[in-house]
Amino acid sequence: MTAQTPFIQIKSVSRVFNGGNGVHDLSIDIPRGSFVVLLGPSGCGKSTTLRLIAGLETADQGMIAIDGKDVTNVPPSKRGLSMVFQSYALFPHLSVAENIIFGLKVRKTSKDEIKTRLTEALNVTGLQGYEERKPAELSGGQRQRVALARAIVAGHPLCLMDEPLSNLDAKLRHSVRKDIRDLQQRLGITVVYVTHDQTEAMSMADIVILMKDGRIEQAGHPADLYLKPATAFAAGFVGSPPMALMPASALPREVVPAGLDVSRLTFGIRPEDLALTTDTTTKAWGITATVNGSEFLGAETFISVAIPGTEGATARLPGRVHIAPGTQVSLSWAGAAAHWFDGEDGRRLAPTTSRQSAREPNTSIETDTAIPSL
Amino acid sequence: MNDMARLQKQRLALYGWMLVAPALALMSLFAFYPAIATLWHSLFTRGTTRRPSVFAGIENYNDLFADPTFWIVVWNNLIYAGITIPVSIIFALAMALWANAHIPARSFVRSAYFTPTILPMIAAANLWLFFYTPDLGVIDQITGFFGASPTNWLGQPETALASVIMVTIWKEAGFFMIFYLAALQTIPPDLREAARIEGAGRWTYTRRVLLPLLMPTTIFVFVNAMINSVKLIDHLFILTKGGPNNASKLILYWIWEMAFAYFDSPHAAAMTILVLLTLGLVAVIQFRLVEKRTHYR
């Protein structure tokens, strides 16, 4: 991603609010035409980063460039970008059409061009026939599309989105996710998208930038974040249900790779990498755990287990599995599926005797076959 | 129909009437009945012990139209309304925009603007009486500093009405500001940011987003200001008593004079009816015209 000059360049930018929140010494390069998701828990600085790019906040320090131009102190309207707000920020007194062409009118675009662009934006977002409605007369999904139409009508190469799906219901969210992604690819625009929902990030992004406390925790392709989380935080944040994290001291000794200090080591395992058996006698090794609940989701079942000395874990088993709460089970996994992190700073540790090939997609298949499941 | 359903409907209707009953009773006693009684009263001549009152038709109204004072007073009131309403609304809006911005000592600014509203009109008028005092008052002190000669602001026909208008604006703008301030706080800040990104400057945002969204408030304030321009005359008693030579006399003051200084209640009643008719008519026109172009959330 550094082959050509990045479309957006953020260089050691800081913006600190009273109370310490904000972003600290942030540097991001965003390539042209990519879909970048800023992901993180609330207060991690992702929205601040977006607002810094938009120009709604001014950087205390550092430099921001868009398309090769330094825009650090340029007002939002001169940065050539559009934005979709969480609340959509539609003007309630204006009709759908007036809302969409608000910016074009402000910029004194010619009448003919406004008309063509409006028609195009309405077509792209499927809002034909709603031109004269007021936002209050639209459903949540339609309002969201009006906000999208307003963002794309000007033809800016950059579109910023601040949690645009958080006000939609779950089903709609799924379809709009796909629509936004399709739209971005069709128009070839760069999108910077803020969300706290890791599913959105994983399913939409070319690049996920995971943030925490105003700093970047990990940036990369969704698969990188999932398969090779750089920190224990990233491991726990990405993936649903989240990766189980536990002190290595709770594990049998032989599982821990040589060369890692057990006293300050965190072990992580994805739910799908956990194999679980009620037969506690035959296996050579495994951790004993107690089942404390199960969630049947149709294609799979989540079994949550309690492991003494840890916060517990979740195993993801295909199909319908019924295990009564209270059952003693034995947990095991393929060695390659294990993640190891420094117990203090959370850094990912690569064991010297590594058999890990985490980037290969067949890791989980190995796991499934290695140990007999229920 | 189901008996139970019918019973429930009847009960709801009964509840409805019970809820409006107190207001209806009070309104009838203190608003509707007096209005009708006034109309009735305006159709009779003034009764004395020797000449009892007789039905006069629209005689009283004809008298009013023939009276030159009537035209002076109506004209005065038109000027008074025509200046106080728009000016106090504009001031109120400007003050609200300022007091809503992120400025230091914001709450101090707000309460300072609101102070005139808390004062009773009589107290305010006494205060201004002092301001207007020729030579000694604050205003003459200031103009005198620049070399102007002392002016009897309230005592000369040219400036009397303007001085009264000034006091009213000073008194009302702060009150209306509160409504604008409340309305401004309901407008989400996102809208301003969205407008900024779309390239709208402060003025465009104000004109195309803020003012339309404040329209319901403006109508409310406008109607209030209009009613006040007829209703609010307390300061006349202190400042000018309608003088000199009727230069600052307003309709309601004139009605009061007719009714309680000259004891000519039939003419006062006739004038009252005219005021009611005009206000009603203007309100209807206002709502018909403006309502259509206003966005209510």
Asked if A213 and A291 sit in the same domain, the reply is no
Q: Give chain A positions within 8 Å (CB) of B208.
A: 91, 102, 106
Specify the number of domains making up chain A.
2
In a domain, B44, yes or no: no
The pLDDT of residue A369: 35
**Which residue range is the domain that position A318 belongs to?**
242-370
| Interval A240-289: pLDDT, tens | 889 999 988 888 877 888 778 888 889 999 999 988 887 766 655 678 88
Q: Give chain B positions within 8 Å (CB) of A89.
A: 188, 190-191, 193-194
In a domain, A23, yes or no: yes
Instruction: Looking at the complex, report in whole angstroms how far the Cα of residue A92 sits from the nearest Cα belonging to chain B.
Output: 8
Cβ separation A89–B199 shorter than 8 A? no
Q: Give chain A positions within 8 Å (CB) of B195.
A: 91, 102, 106
| Interval B51-63: pLDDT, tens | 888 888 888 899 8
In a domain, A285, yes or no: yes
Write out residues 9-68 of B within 8 Å (CB-CB) of A.
none
DSSP state of B209: I
**Which residue range is the domain that position B287 belongs to?**
66-292
| Interval B20-69: pLDDT, tens | 999 999 999 999 999 999 999 999 888 877 888 888 888 889 988 999 99
Instruction: Looking at the complex, report in whole angstroms how far the Cα of residue A161 sits from the nearest Cα belonging to chain B.
Output: 12
3-class DSSP assignment, residue A95: coil
Asked if A276 and A204 sit in the same domain, the reply is no
Asked if A258 and A352 sit in the same domain, the reply is yes
3-class DSSP assignment, residue B46: coil
Q: What is the mean pLDDT of residues A219-234?
A: 93
Write out residues 124-143 of A within 8 Å (CB-CB) of B.
134, 136
In a domain, B166, yes or no: yes
Which residue among B190, B199, B212 places its CB closest to the CB of A106? B199
- What values do phi and psi take at B135, rounded to 5? 70, -45
Asked if A199 and A272 sit in the same domain, the reply is no
Cβ separation B188–A89 shorter than 8 A? yes
Q: CATH code at A24?
A: 3.40.50.300
**pLDDT tens track, chain B, 297 positions:** 688 889 999 999 999 999 999 999 999 999 999 999 999 999 988 887 788 888 888 888 998 899 999 999 999 999 999 999 999 999 999 999 988 887 888 888 888 888 888 888 889 889 998 898 887 888 888 888 887 777 888 888 888 899 999 999 998 998 999 999 999 999 999 999 999 999 888 899 999 999 999 988 998 898 889 888 988 888 888 888 887 888 889 999 999 999 999 888 899 999 999 999 998 888 888 778 777 666 665
In a domain, A354, yes or no: yes
A191 and A184 in contact (C-beta within 8 Å)?
yes
Write out residues 81-120 of B within 8 Å (CB-CB) of A.
none
In a domain, B124, yes or no: yes
Q: Tell me, what's the ipTM?
A: 0.80
Q: Give chain A positions within 8 Å (CB) of B207.
A: none
The pLDDT of residue A125: 87
Asked if A174 and A280 sit in the same domain, the reply is no
Inter-CA distances, B19 with A314, B24, B33, Å: 59, 9, 21
A225 and A339 in contact (C-beta within 8 Å)?
no
In this structure, the number of other CB atoms found within 10 A of the CB of residue B84 comes to 24
Instruction: Looking at the complex, report in whole angstroms how far the Cα of residue A155 sits from the nearest Cα belonging to chain B.
Output: 12
Which residue among B194, B204, B295 places its CB closest to the CB of A89? B194
* A-B Cβ pairs (cutoff 8 Å, strict): 64
Instruction: Looking at the complex, report in whole angstroms how far the Cα of residue B213 sits from the nearest Cα belonging to chain A.
Output: 7
Dist. CA A240–CA A271, nearest whole Å: 9
Cβ separation A81–B204 shorter than 8 A? no
Specify the number of domains making up chain B.
1
Q: CATH code at A362?
A: 2.40.50.140
| Interval A292-323: pLDDT, tens | 989 999 899 999 998 888 888 999 999 888 88
Task: List residues bridging with A306 in a β-sheet.
Answer: A290
